[in-house]
Amino acid sequence: MDDKHIQILKDLGFGDISSKTMSNEYWKNRAAEALAITTQERDVFGCLDHTRGDGVRIYDIEGTEYLDVTGGVAVRAFGLRYKPFLDFEASISDVVSELPGMDFDAIPQTLLAERVAKITPGTFKKRVVFTTSGARAVEGCMKSAMDLSSRRRFVAFRPAFHGRTGYALALTASNAMHKSGFPQGVDVIRVPYPYCYRCPYGQEVESCNLECVEGLVYALQVEGNDIVMTVMEPICGEGGLIVPPAKAVKGMYDVTKEVGAYFMSDEVQAGMGRTGKWCAIENHGVVPDFVSIAKALGGGYPMGASIGPAPMFTGPSRHSETFSAEPKLSLLALWIIKHMEDGGFLKKNAENGAYLMKRLNELKDKYEVVGDVRGIGLMVGVEFVKSKKTKEKARDLRYRIVKNAVQKQKLWMIGAGQNCVRFTPSYIITKANIDDAVDRFDKAIAQSLS
Ligand SMILES: Cc1ncc(COP(=O)(O)O)c(C=O)c1O
């Protein structure tokens, strides 16, 4: 961090801060004393320098440069300090920042709602509610579905991640740490996610009879089919980067429709063009009633949206969030959508994603411990096993690989599920960056095994 930014902190009342305190250990210790939570392990990651970054390069406060393949966990659509984005942001610096989006009308949020409705599947009449997080984008859909129906029970999957607040947490089931001890906000019928590498029904995807869909039929028979909505991630992200086969997603959709319920695609991580389609569910040929988006929609700022069938809510004030769709953030989101269209990013994401998969599959051929490589577009996961034959989960190895990747190879990456890692890079990643990332990842695996 340069002197200017150190001085800014001093001017904010922190006279104890100087270039001498710019060490990862110092700030990690200080953070641990002040912050209640960090979701990623402090023994793996350094303290990020909030004043530096460029594209897919991020820095810790000791000045170490990393190649980032997390994209801020799918948030930074165009990476860090993307010049066209910064230029547009500067051009709207005189726009007012705080106009409560759900209390009064303003032009940017109306236009954004129109755009967002257009980029989500289905030509039916939609409405949009803006939010400041992914979990709330999920909850906006859940509340709307309950408001439009007299039913209250949901179908969700295991694993699944839909956020850590209230109703969204009730749908989440990817890590006991998120759930244990907290009461269930809504009633959930839980069925296994279509996870073909570890099919809970012992089937092979090519020859199966969609036993997972039959599992949902059976669950509704024995638990009751008075469900309001099935909520599904089109690619299970946090739970282990699992790509379901289209036929299973279609099957879950059909069963949901047969019992007169809504179907929702939680696109918070996989949406916004990451997979080469605006919504990842389009890869499965299903048109959901509800869609939640967030993360890349704000390009780094908190912006989410719940999209559902009109009228969404039975009356005014049935739902609200003060800090939603502020004018500046709405304009930025509009710019992101337009820039993605003008720059052909959907196509680029599909192509670069295919290249990333190809390169990672080389590692699958090379290492016995790389059990599976799966993904669509720029959402790709690698699952580690003790051996390809037994498929026993290699949890410790995964931890060592991520640690080695970050600390030794300077590859900023995170895990998913119990024994997987995920690649959700920014859309500006190049083939050269991908080669570099895979080479570093290769070294991390090799060194973690020896
Ligand atoms: C599919 C999905 N839904 C919801 C969420 C929750 O988003 P947020 O952390 O912004 O509340 C996430 C976050 O990773 C997610 O991946």
267, 280 contact by CB (below 8 A): yes
- Is the previous residue joined to 288 through a cis bond, with omega within 30 degrees of 0? no
* Distance of CA 267 from the midpoint of ligand 1 (Å): 9
Atom of ligand 1 nearest to the CA of 135: 11
The residue whose CA is least distant from atom 16 of ligand 1 is: 269
Supply 40's token pair: 């990623």
CA-to-CA distance for 3 and 391, rounded, in angstroms? 52
Q: How far is the CA of 142 from the centre of ligand 1 (A)?
A: 14
pLDDT in tens, 34-69: 999 888 889 999 999 999 999 999 999 999 999 999
CA of 368 to the centre of ligand 1 (A): 32
Per residue in 82-122, pLDDT (tens digit) is 999 999 999 999 999 888 778 889 999 999 999 999 999 99
Q: Confirm if 222 and 186 have CB atoms less than 8 A apart.
A: no
The CA distance from 281 to 235, in Å, is 8
Q: What's the whole-model pTM score? A: 0.97
Query: What pLDDT is stored for residue 100 in this prediction?
Result: 78
Element (H, E) at 177: helix 176-179
Q: Which residue's alpha carbon is nearest to atom 10 within ligand 1? A: 134
Phi and psi dihedrals of 63, rounded to 5? Answer: 95, 5
317 C-alpha vs ligand 1 centroid, how far in Å? Answer: 25
Q: Give tens-digit pLDDT for 151-199.
A: 999 999 999 999 999 999 999 999 999 999 999 999 999 999 999 999 9
For 154, the enclosing helix (H) or strand (E) is strand 153-158
Contact between 241 and 73 under an 8 Å Cβ cutoff? The reply is no
Q: Are 126 and 310 in contact (CB under 8 A)?
A: yes
Please state, in angstroms and rounded to a whole number, the distance separating the CA atoms of residues 150 and 146.
7
Tell how far the Cα of 42 is from the centroid of ligand 1, in angstroms.
21
Q: Give 206-251 pLDDT, tens digit per residue.
A: 999 999 999 999 999 999 999 999 999 999 999 999 999 999 999 9
Q: 163 CA to middle of ligand 1, Å?
A: 5
Ligand 1: lining residues by beta carbon, under 6 Å: 133-135, 138, 161-163, 233, 237-238, 266, 268-269, 294
Ligand 1 atom closest to Cα of residue 269? 16
Mutate to test the pocket of ligand 1, among 269, 275, 422 (most ligand atoms within 8 A of CB): 269
Instruction: Tell me the pLDDT tens digit for each residue of 304-333.
Output: 999 999 999 999 999 999 888 899 999 999
pLDDT given at position 99? 83
In this structure, are strands 262-266 and 411-412 parallel, antiparallel, or unpaired?
unpaired
Domains, in order of start, for the chain: 3-81+345-449 (3.90.1150.10), 107-342 (3.40.640.10)
